[in-house]
Each structure stands twice: as C-alpha cells, then as structure tokens.
Structure 1
Amino acid sequence: MHFFNPSYSGHAFFEAQSTYEDARAVIYGMPMDWTTSFRPGSRFGPTRIREVSINLEDYSPYADRELGEVAYFDAGDIPLPFGSAQRSLQVIEEYVRKVVADGKFPIGLGGEHLVSLAPIKVMAEKYPDLVLIHIDAHTDLREEMEGEALSHSAVIRRALDYVKPENVYQFGIRSGLKEEFEFAKKHLHLYKFKVIEPLKECLEELKDRPVYVTYDIDAIDPAYAPGTGTAEPGGITAAEAIESIYLLSQLNVVGFDLVEVAPVLDQSERTQILASKMIREVILTMVK
C-alpha cells in the first residue's frame, strides 16, 4: 500500500524524484470533504497544491537551500471511500501508521480538517506526551455538528481522545461558539487572533518536545487565501504564514499537515500557490 503513486496525470510535488525507500519525508494527500458544513471542494486541494508547485523555484531564499538537497517522496492521494468519514479516517490511519513505522516524516495535504484526526492519533501513539499545535481561524472544539461527532468542526475535540488537553496549543483562533472558547480557555492553551507573537513566546517551553502541527489554510486572511470552505476575515498575512513555518521549525516537529485548501473557490490560484510554497518551506526546514 505504501508504494501507491499519484492517480492523477499531473505532477508530483515539484516533480519529487526520491523513492519511498530513500525518502526522509513522505507527502500524501487526504482528499476528503464529506463533513464540510459550508462550501465543499477541499477534496481537490492535495492535487492542485502539487500541480501549482511547478510555479515554485527549487531554491528557497528563506532557507538558503534547494529541494534537491532533501529526499522526499510524493505518494499521491490516498484512495478514500466516498461519503464515509469513519472508514476514510481508518484508511488514512493505516497508511500514516506505516509511514511513521518506516521512520519517515509525514506531510499530509487535505482535505477538510477532520482528516487530521488520523495522523494525530498515530503520532500520539508513538509519542505519549505529544504536543499538538493547531493553527486555524476556528476553535474546532464542538462536541458535534448537526448530530455528527466526526466533523471538521470537532476535529480538535476528538483529538483530545489521544492528546492531553494541556498539550494542545491553538493559535490564530478567531471564530467558534462561546462554549468552545470557554472550554479552550479552561483546558487548552488558546491564543486568539495572532500567531507570530504568541508562538515566539511558546518556543522555549516547547523546546525538545515532540510536536505535531496541523495547519488550516483559513488561519490566513481570505485576502491572501480565499480558496477555503469557511473563510474568516481577520487572519494573518501570507508573509506571516511563511514566518510561522520558520518559527515552528525551531521545535522538534515530528509531523505536519496543511488542510482546507479548496481550489474551486479561488480562480486566482493564490491560495494554492501559497499552500505549495508553505509545503516547500516545511520540507526544507522540518525534514532533518
């Protein structure tokens, strides 16, 4: 299963050349938007993020490195059973567990945010004291959404089944129910509205601890990233998004995912291009 190739006819991420065996990192797509509550289309995000990566330069002036210096493998999109959130999560979990067991750094592309629950579960099994960094516009702490406990709006609440509440750090949050904010203030580390300043303040306390990062593209203001299902004004800039990757890279990041890119909602492609650039910087800074 772990040798599956992209099922589309386009490019792998920046025409990745490494084999699975030789790769230090593995990029995989989680093309699911079964529980999207507003505008669907994020299932097409992983493919388009790869396709627009042809726009990138191999060289990053931020990292002063080239992608050719890092061995990474693009596995394409995981084939998921349409319409079944529970079964889809099981399939993703099975795949990520194999990647992690093989000693690879997992880089997931979503898909709606619920898909992140599978890699979070896998990483928490490997690292019992895992720190979860959640960068997002939304709290994602609902108990359920329209009767469904498995929902993109409940992913962090479900993640608490695997990660200790005191190990969850939320940044950029600016939308959610009142009770979600009250829960976060009481049990988690909640940093509203901003990402860069509070993240800098947390670096020392999180140093050397295993960290998994789940990054929702809607943390970024829709002026810079409109291609997402539940856009929320008041977010960070594209420049701050890139800066946040470099701050995160100072930590012991053991896995990363970027979710909620919906290409059909952004004809300008700036959302997809920004997402692709963020993944380039993840590869160059977090893959040791």
Structure 2
Amino acid sequence: MYQPKDSSKSPRFCGVRTFMRLEQIKTTDHIDFAVLGVPFDTAASFRTGQRLGPQHIRNFSSLLRPYNPDMDINIFDYCSGVDYGDIDVIPGNIHRTYDNMVSELTPLLKKNVTPIIMGGDHSISLGNLRAFHKKYGPVALVHFDSHGDTWDNYYGEKYMHGTPFRRAVEEGLLDVNHSIQVGMRGPLYSPDDIEDARRLGFEVIPMREARKIGFEEVIKRIHERVGDHPVFVSYDIDFVDPAYAPGTGTPEVGGPTSFEALEYVRALDGLNLVGFDLVEVLPTYDSNEITATLASAIMYEMITLTALKKKKQLLQPAGEQVLQASKE
C-alpha cells in the first residue's frame, strides 16, 4: 500500500517534492492510481510556460491530507497510489511526445490503474486519449474548459492546444454521443467556434447557459449524457474564472469560483471514471500560488473519486464486481 508521508511527523518542507508527498516510484503493482506529469507546452498559441505546471502543482500539493471531509472518505483506506513522475517529452515535437505518452500510459492502463495526469498545455489530451483508446476503445469525454478546443487548425497547424478534441473525433478515440463540454465563453471568431463542436457530436453547455439552468441541471445533463460508459475527464484550469486561477495561458473572465470548480468534480461521483487530466497551469502568471492551490485541490478531488469508485466496488456483491470488471 502506497500512501503519502504523514506531515504531522515529517514537515512538509522536507524531502523531494512529489504530488501530495506520495512516494515517487514507477510501478504498476499494488496501486489504484498514479499521478503523472506531461511537461509539454510547445503547442500553446499565446503564453507559454505550462511545461513547468507539474512541478508547480506538486510543490503546493504538500498541504493535502488523506481525509476528504466534503466526500467523507479517507482516500488511502481504499486506494494505493504513487507519483509516477513525468513522461519524457520532446520539446517542439508533439508527435514523438504523443508516442512517449502512449508508451508510458499503456502499462498502467493494462493493470487497471487510474492515471491522474498534469499538463502541460491542452494538446496533451490527444496523447492521453490515444492510450485510453487502446484499453477501452472510444471513451466518453467530460470536458471542462472556457474553450471548446475543436478548432481545425492554428496557423495551418493541425496539432495545437486548441485542436485536440477535433483530432480525437477524427481518429475515432471518442464516443461523442456520450461526450459533453461545459463552460465555453469569451469572444470567438464566429458562431462556428461553438457549433463545430455540436456538429462533431458533442453536447455543449456554454457558461452563460450553465448559469441560467443552474449547477444541478448541468450535473444531471452530464450524468445522463455519459451514462455508464467509460469516461475520461479533461479539466482546463481556464474553465475557472481568472480571479481564482490567474496562472494560465488564455484566461477568460466570467467563469466559476474556486468552490464551484471543486463542486463540478465532486459531482462526477457515480460515473464510470477511468482517467483524468488537468492542463494549462502556467506558473509565471500565478501570483501567490493561487492557481497551484486550486489545481492541486482539483486533482485531489479526482483522486477522491477514484477512492469512492474503489470503495463501491469493494462493497459490491461478488457477482456485481465481475460485471463491473467486464465493463472496464
């Protein structure tokens, strides 16, 4: 069983920085989740520096503790997890980076380990989805973002941080009939910037609509859309209003508060969650580590969902456990 150091016995400023003070080890044995970094940012279109996001999040995550009072669970009563380290990226070469990602994630997925992945810019999601497709086939996507990231190209380039989900649809990696995007807002080039995602098959709830219909209705739509399909969650930190997450590359005002940002993740409990990524944290613009504070908390809630899923599986009768395993 792998779990964090006890910060009541070992001060948080001691030791090498890992996420939540987990042991840093590359293993697929006896673990339920693995935290990984993908420090790649050469597909960003405006500000860069997201390559430093994983270490920035890790640095602040030492404040996290094993018991989650909001979800009433001690994570490590049900889960074992490690900080798996960073996937080696190739700066300036997104295609070789994708190959490395698939190679590194595949052994974890074969062992039914849930990857919790830190970017990096949002282009990394395509590499993640290629790996998940090898295990699950087309997966459902729950995508929290202020941008749809379904553009066809930037500057004639097909592989940028604004294009990963169009490429994922084209490659057959996503079950779009069970996928949903939430939070889109801000100025656009044309109505097609939203409508293209719908034409690709996504359900889209822009932020203004989310405010109008209310949080509970948004969550209801997410659960109805996804059903019991294996689902990958992609969370761009610019989903959150820049007052609460200033450290990002393309901020858009009018987003959720930090409390709401966490509630959106917590409300995914009950879905068939198989993996997560959190992207676009940019330390240079993160005054007082506001963004790192929130990003580490969002990842903590993602890990909590893994623990809740494990708890429910352990409490299931043996026959239902076999059925659940067959779905995965």
Q: Does 1:183 align with 2:191?
A: no
Aligned pairs for 1:190-205 (under 5 A) are 190-193=204-207, 194=210, 196=215, 197-205=217-225
Letter in 2 for 1:222: P
- Indicate conservation of the 8 Å contact 1:67/1:280, yes or no: no
Give, in whole Å, the separation in 2 of the partners of 1:167 and 1:59: 32
Q: What is the root-mean-square deviation in Å for CA atoms of aligned residues?
A: 1.8
Give, in whole Å, the separation in 1 of the partners of 2:128 and 2:180: 17
Deviating above 4 A after TM superposition, structure 1's stretches of 4 or more consecutive aligned residues are: none
Helix, strand or coil at the partner of 1:82:
coil
Question: In terms of Rg, which structure is larger?
Answer: 2
Q: Under a length normalisation based on structure 2, what TM-score does the superposition of the two structures give?
A: 0.81
1:92-113 CA-partner distances (Å, limit 9, x unpaired): 1111112101221111100000
Unaligned runs of 5+ in 2: 1-14, 311-328
1:11-47 CA-partner distances (Å, limit 9, x unpaired): 1111114863221101110000001111111111111
Residue number among 139, 159, 170 corresponding to 1:130 in the alignment: 139
Give, in whole Å, the separation in 1 of the partners of 2:64 and 2:117: 19
Residue 123 of structure 1 and its aligned partner are, at CA, apart by 1.5
Give the strand-richer structure, 1 or 2: 1
Residue number among 85, 97, 107 corresponding to 1:98 in the alignment: 107
Residue 78 of structure 1 and its aligned partner are, at CA, apart by 1.2
Partner of 1:273: 293
Q: Does 1:236 align with 2:256?
A: yes
Partner of 1:15: 21
Give, in whole Å, the separation in 2 of the partners of 1:67 and 1:167: 28
1:38-89 CA-partner distances (Å, limit 9, x unpaired): 1111111111111101122332211222343321110111121121111111
Larger RCO (alpha carbons 8 Å, 6+ apart): 1
- Indicate conservation of the 8 Å contact 2:236/2:280, yes or no: yes
* Fraction of identical pairs, as percent: 35
**More displaced 10-residue stretch of structure 1: 145-154 or 184-193:** 184-193
Q: Does 1:246 align with 2:266?
A: yes
Partner of 1:150: 159
Give, in whole Å, the separation in 2 of the partners of 1:251 and 1:93: 24
Helix, strand or coil at the partner of 2:134:
helix
Unaligned runs of 5+ in 1: 1-8
Residue 224 of structure 1 and its aligned partner are, at CA, apart by 0.4
Partner of 1:109: 118
Residue-pair matches, total = 280
- Indicate conservation of the 8 Å contact 2:41/2:48, yes or no: yes
Give, in whole Å, the separation in 2 of the partners of 1:129 and 1:30: 22
